[in-house]
Amino acid sequence: MKHYLTRKQVEQHYPLSQSYLAWLAHKGRGPQFRIVGRNAVYLVTEIEDWLDSLLVTSKRSRSQKRPGRPRKRRQA
């Protein structure tokens, strides 16, 4: 059985606010949703797949970090 969540329920279970989900829907981005009556509902697997697609991986570890700009020496 498929499990759907309203925007309010999504906000309670995931780091996404109702207003952000509405904004994403307005822009045509974000997880897919369906309109049931007056409510937008989201399939749990689609929310999780969308969140997984946002994963960002670091290209460098801290040990490979380039040195930054040299600091000015304090004059006494």
Please state the three-class secondary structure of the chain as a single string.
CCCEEEHHHHHHHCCCCHHHHHHHHHHCCCCCCEEECCEEEEEHHHHHHHHHHCCCCCCCCHHHCCCCCCCCCCCC
- The mean pLDDT value for 14-36 works out to 96
User: pLDDT confidence of 69, banded at 50, 70, 90?
Assistant: confident
Q: What is the mean pLDDT of the chain?
A: 89
pLDDT computed for residue 57 by the predictor? 84
**Structure token pair of residue 57:** 């991986």
8-state DSSP, 54 = T
pLDDT above 70: residue 62: no
Q: Which residues contact 3 (CB under 8 A, 6 or more apart)?
A: 43, 44
pLDDT above 70: residue 63: no
Task: Read off the pTM.
Answer: 0.71
pLDDT computed for residue 66 by the predictor? 66
